Amino acid sequence: MTLPLLDILRRAPVVPVIVIHDLATAVPLADALVAGGLTVLEVTLRTPAGLPAIAAMRRAVPEAIVGVGTLSSPDQFQAVTDAGAQFGVSPGLTPALAEASRKVPWPFLPGVMTPGELMQARELGFNLCKLFPAQQAGGIGMLKALHSVFPDVGFCPTGGIHRDNAADFLALPNVHCVGGSWVAPTDLVKAGDWLGIRKLAQDAASLPRKAS
């Protein structure tokens, strides 16, 4: 079943941005995050283990909504579909990526950084976007400014967001969730500290948000 993108973004206040180096960690990591209340997972394509990790998580952790991050080429879309991804995220947007997204059975969250890029995204049919890199793009101030001009657009800001500033982003009316890697830190994953990751996920899942 294909879920609407807004429903996916509203599942939890934080979407873990996951980099898998060792495929053996994929399923226990997903289990820990879901047990903590973060049921939407973004597995990046930054390593060769990315696609196999998505497939493994889909098979073993049906409670999770597993998507793919770092999409940068239309050629990747079929492989992502074959792996079973339920949504896709890109750091940017091109007409070719927009066209490829219309041919797959899962929703696509494109990245924007500037008002001009946001206007192009809207022209291509997207009113839900990833602000990336969020802090370098202007952070809270940029999102407030964008909301005043584009009140119809919702965001999942990612990049430079951590536990200490996540609540400030989530308090904005145009932020549905934030993306962050602090809930799946490399040292805890490498150590197999799944209880520690579960506790981080529980804390992140409890963060309030304003957008509805």
Q: 42 catalytic, yes or no?
A: yes
The answer, yes or no, to whether the previous bond of 133 is cis (omega within 30 of 0) is yes
Catalytic residue among 42, 99, 103, 144: 42
Q: Which residues pair with 131 in a beta bridge?
A: 112
Catalytic residue among 117, 130, 144, 210: 130
60-77: burial string, b at 16+ Cβ within 10 Å, e else: ebeebbbbbbbbeebebb
DSSP string, 130-192: EETTTTTTTHHHHHHHHHHH-TT-EE--BSS--HHHHHHHHTSTTBS-EEESTTS-HHHHHHT
Give the residue numbers annotated as catalytic, written as ranges.
Answer: 42, 130
